[in-house]
């Protein structure tokens, strides 16, 4: 079965599943592709991410009032890959490198996207 | 080993046009004026150009449209797009085509009216479903993320970034062509509006109009040219990601590879370099590239810059025209690093002239620290 990366990734998200791809014997990678980066391997499986990670780099995007400033961060997932995202549920300038975060799937336009929250605050709230 | 460079080709003319505000001109008009000025300096006519290298901001077929505008039928056009570093990649393609005799006279040109034109800022990047939902303010946020990581790992501070911006303004004060020539005070820098933390509007390059062009021939031809020659001694390219989240190490760019390749071809080391022209789209670029190109150890560029080393009178003159931060930044700045190198190596840089400059590094950056291209250029003594 030929992988259709974007379509399958967003279909999983709609089912509440944040998935990475992994070649046989390889390490998980993100963003979705038709082949493993660096090797071209096409024997890919979708594997569910733990959702856990840490802030690798962070910025506050400043907005003109009344729009609020917001966070943009590079998250390093525990499985290894990095992704761009946002850390929410915390003031944007309180997001620090190394902060433990957990993924949450949220609606975005006509599909879904993955954001993150600090682990402590997300405790007990599920995902 | 690739021996492109090492003085087999020479630049024999270099020019700018319309730096700052040039209302009423299209980007193509500006590129043409710079091209004609560079050709005039070199002694060649428009009709002599048989290799054309160009990448206009919003014209993806500008290799064709610019040839038509100039009224020439080149044997080779090249419109490679790696962001603002593209014009340094053009130097490499032009050098190789000249060396094998495919072309005899190469013209490399760029122009943009992005400050006064009605088109607004142009982005060549296509929307990405894995970045777009988070609304990074690109390109600033990408460089801000890299800055946050450099600060975290190496203790780089906004005081260091201030020193970069202050040095650029000090050089610009010596350059009548520069757009922002007033000295930059600490108070002004730290009061500036933040755009994407830790970068403020004064950590970001200018938005100006402007155009640049250079003319390139084989070294044997250079002796007969009207324009003074400088020589391409080495050129290296490297890329290791496109989107900032995919950059292997946000503190260290692929300039460490492009620089090493260029130095090897040129058979020089950073200690031999008299003047450095870096693509300073943001203040962090100067910090990172001084490290990655071997002028400082990793993590030490901030203190080096804050000591005054790269400012006028310092031990390593960097961005002597004022750079993208204070001289000119019309969307893509890369070619201006080459023009300023030409002026320094031909002794025509006026008040900002670096005494007996013989080796220059011109370094281009493209995308989100994604493309790195380093040229080592030499003056008359290196032929």
How confident is the model over B208-265, as pLDDT tens digits? 999 999 999 999 999 999 999 999 999 999 999 999 999 999 999 999 999 999 999 9
**pLDDT confidence of B1, banded at 50, 70, 90?**
very low
Distance of CA A27 to the CA centre of its chain: 16
Measuring CA to CA, how many Å separate B155 from each of B146, B159, B186? Answer: 13, 11, 19
Share of chain B above pLDDT 90, in %: 93
How far does Cα B120 stand from its chain's mean position? 22
Cα torsion at B372, B373, B378, B383 (round to 10°)? 150
Confidence band (pLDDT; 50, 70, 90) for B4? low
Mean pLDDT of A67-91: 98
> Which domains, and CATH codes, for chain A?
5-122 (2.40.50.840)
Give mean pLDDT, residues B274-300.
98
Largest CA distance in chain A: 50
Provide the terminal-to-terminal Cα distance of chain B, rounded to the nearest Å.
Answer: 20
Mark out chain B residues that contact chain A at CB-CB < 8 A: 129-131, 133-137, 141, 144-146, 148-149, 152, 193-199, 243-246, 250
| H/E stretch holding A105 | strand A100-108
* Mean pLDDT in residue range A72-82: 98
- The single residue listed with the structure tokens 């963003």 is A31
Give the A:B interface size as CB pairs under 8 Å.
71
User: For residue B313, what are its two tokens?
Assistant: 């009178």
Q: ipTM of the predicted structure? A: 0.95
Instruction: State the average pLDDT over residues B10-18.
Output: 98
Asked whether the beta carbons of residue B144 and residue A59 sit closer than 8 angstroms, the reply is yes
Q: Which residue of B has its CA nearest to A33?
A: B130
pLDDT tops 90 at residue B348: yes
Tell me the C-alpha distance between B39 and B52, whole Å. Answer: 12
Sheet holding B76-78, edge to edge: B76-78, B51-54, B106-112, B209-218, B9-20, B230-239, B371-378, B359-366, B275-278
pLDDT value at B172 more than 50:
yes
| Chain A positions with Cβ closer than 8 Å to B | 6, 10, 30-31, 56-62, 70, 72-74, 82-86, 93, 97, 108-109, 113, 115
Angle formed at CA B331 by CA B148 and CA A66, multiple of 5 degrees: 60
Nearest-CA distance from B156 to chain A in Å?
A: 14
Q: Give the pLDDT of residue A127.
A: 41
Whether A72 and B193 lie within 8 Å, measured CB to CB: no
Task: Of B30, B329, B373, give the one whose Cα is nearest residue B205.
Answer: B329
Residue B154's alpha-carbon distances to A77, A114, B146, in angstroms, are 23, 30, 12
- Cβ atoms of B304 and B55 within 8 Å: the answer is no
Residue from A61, A63, A93 to probe the interface with B (highest B Cβ count within 10 Å)? A61
Where are the domains positioned within chain B? 9-119+206-382
Least Cα distance to B369 among B280, B271, B269, B299 occurs for B280
Residue B329 CA to chain centroid, in angstroms?
Answer: 10
- Is the per-residue pLDDT at A124 higher than 70? no
- Determine the average pLDDT of the residues in B73-82: 96
The DSSP letter of residue B271 is: G
Spatial contact of B352 and B173, defined as CB atoms under 8 Å apart: no
Partners of A70 on chain B (C-beta within 8 Å) are 135
Token look-up 């970001």 returns: B204
- Residue the block writes with tokens 């031990």: B315
Cα–Cα distances in angstroms (integers) from residue B146 to residues A52, B124, B183, in the given order: 22, 21, 27
In angstroms, what CA-CA distances link B22 with A65, B67, B206, B323? 33, 22, 15, 19
Instruction: Give per-residue pLDDT as tens, B87-117.
Output: 999 999 999 999 999 999 999 999 999 999 9
Question: Do the Cβ atoms of A61 and B141 come within 8 Å?
Answer: yes
Counting residues of chain A whose pLDDT is more than 90, the rounded percentage is 92
Q: How large is the angle between the packed helices B334-345 and B86-99, nearest 10 degrees?
A: 60
B143 to chain A, minimum CA–CA distance in Å? Answer: 10
Query: For the segment A12-42, what is each residue's pLDDT rounded down to a tens digit?
Result: 999 999 999 999 999 999 999 999 999 999 9
Chain B nearest-CA residue for A38: B240
Cα→Cα distances A50→A58, B9, B230, Å: 21, 55, 57
As a whole number, mean pLDDT of residues A44-57 equals 98
Phi, psi dihedral angles at B334 (to 5 degrees): -45, -45
Measured between beta carbons, which residues in chain B are less than 8 angstroms from residue A61? 135-137, 141, 195-196
At B312, list the tokens. 């006028």
Kindly give the interhelix angle for B27-42 and B62-70, rounded to the nearest 10 degrees. 60
pLDDT at A126: 43
H or E element: which one contains B277?
strand B275-278
Q: Is B313 left (phi over 0), alpha (psi -120 to 50) or beta?
A: left
8 Å CB contact between B337 and B343: no
Longest dimension (CA), chain B: 57
Q: Could you tell me if B16 and B336 are in contact, meaning their C-beta atoms sit under 8 angstroms apart?
A: yes
Average pLDDT, chain B: 96
What is the per-residue pLDDT across B115-167, written as a single tens digit (0 to 9) for each? 999 665 556 567 799 999 999 999 999 999 999 999 999 999 999 999 999 99
Provide the angle, in degrees to the nearest 10, between the axes of the packed helices B283-292 and B255-266: 50
**Alpha helices per DSSP H over chain A:** 5-14, 119-122
Can you tell me whether residue B212 is helix, strand or coil?
strand
pLDDT of residue B343: 98
Structure confidence at residue A120 (pLDDT): 82
Q: What is the CATH number of domain B9-119+206-382?
A: 3.40.47.10
A31 vs B130, B134, B196: nearest CB = B130
Contact (CB<8Å) B148/A72: no
- Over residues B180-209, the pLDDT tens digits come to 999 999 999 999 999 999 999 999 999 999
Nearest to B250 by CA among B325, B331, B87, B141: B141
For B21, other C-beta atoms within 10 Å of its C-beta total 12
N-term to C-term CA, chain A: 30
Give the mean pLDDT of chain A: 94
Mutation site for B-interface testing, chosen from A8, A10, A74, A83 by largest number of B Cβ within 10 Å: A74
| pLDDT (mean) for A80-103 | 98
Distance CA B154, CA B252 (A): 11
Contact B77, B109 (CB under 8 A): no
Of B131, B141, B152, the CB nearest to A59: B141
């Amino acid at each position: 079965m030929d992988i259709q990366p974007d379509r399958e990734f967003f279909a999983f998200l709609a089912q509440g599943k944040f998935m990475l791809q992994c070649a046989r014997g390889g390490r998980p990678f993100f963003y979705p592709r038709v082949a493993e980066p660096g090797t071209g391997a096409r024997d890919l499986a979708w594997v569910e991410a733990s959702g856990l990670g840490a802030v690798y780099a962070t910025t506050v995007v400043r907005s003109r009032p009344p729009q609020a400033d917001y966070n943009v961060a590079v998250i390093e997932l525990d499985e290894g890959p990095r992704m761009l995202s946002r850390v929410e549920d915390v003031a944007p300038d309180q997001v620090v490198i190394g902060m433990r975060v957990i993924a949450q799937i949220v609606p975005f336009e006509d599909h879904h996207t993955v954001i993150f929250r600090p682990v402590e605050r997300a405790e007990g709230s599920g995902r | 080993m690739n021996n492109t460079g090492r003085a087999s080709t020479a630049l024999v003319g270099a020019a700018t046009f319309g730096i700052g505000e040039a209302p009423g001109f299209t980007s193509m008009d500006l590129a043409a004026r710079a091209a004609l000025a560079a050709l005039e300096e070199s002694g060649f006519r428009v009709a002599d150009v048989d290799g054309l290298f160009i990448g206009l901001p919003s014209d993806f077929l500008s290799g064709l449209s610019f040839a038509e505008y100039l009224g020439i039928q080149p044997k080779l056009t090249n419109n490679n797009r790696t962001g603002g570093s593209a014009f340094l990649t053009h130097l490499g393609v032009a050098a190789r085509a000249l060396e094998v005799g495919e072309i005899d006279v190469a013209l490399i040109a760029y122009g943009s009216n992005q400050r006064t034109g009605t088109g607004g800022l142009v982005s060549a990047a296509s929307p990405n479903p894995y970045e777009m939902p988070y609304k990074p303010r690109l390109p600033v946020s990408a460089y801000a993320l890299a800055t946050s990581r450099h600060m975290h790992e190496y203790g780089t501070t906004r005081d260091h970034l201030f020193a970069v911006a202050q040095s650029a303004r000090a050089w610009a004060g010596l350059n009548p062509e520069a757009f922002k020539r007033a000295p930059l005070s600490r108070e002004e820098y730290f009061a500036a509006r933040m755009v994407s933390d830790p970068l403020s509007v004064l950590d970001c390059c200018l938005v100006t109009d402007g155009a640049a062009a250079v003319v390139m021939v084989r070294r044997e031809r250079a002796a007969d040219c009207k324009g003074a020659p400088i020589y391409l001694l080495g050129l290296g390219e490297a890329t290791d990601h496109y989107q900032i989240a995919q950059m292997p190490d946000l503190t260290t760019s692929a300039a460490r590879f492009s620089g090493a390749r260029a130095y090897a071809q040129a058979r020089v080391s950073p200690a031999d370099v008299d003047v450095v022209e870096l693509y300073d789209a943001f203040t962090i670029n100067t910090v990172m590239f001084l490290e990655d190109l071997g002028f400082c150890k990793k993590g030490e560029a901030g203190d080096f810059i804050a000591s005054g080393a790269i400012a006028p009178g310092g031990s390593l003159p960097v961005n002597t025209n004022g750079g993208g931060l204070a001289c000119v930044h019309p969307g893509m700045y890369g070619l201006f690093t080459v023009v300023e190198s030409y002026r320094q190596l031909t002794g025509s840089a006026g008040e900002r002239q670096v005494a007996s400059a013989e080796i220059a590094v011109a370094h281009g950056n493209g995308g989100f620290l994604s493309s790195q291209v380093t040229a080592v250029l030499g003056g008359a003594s290196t032929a």
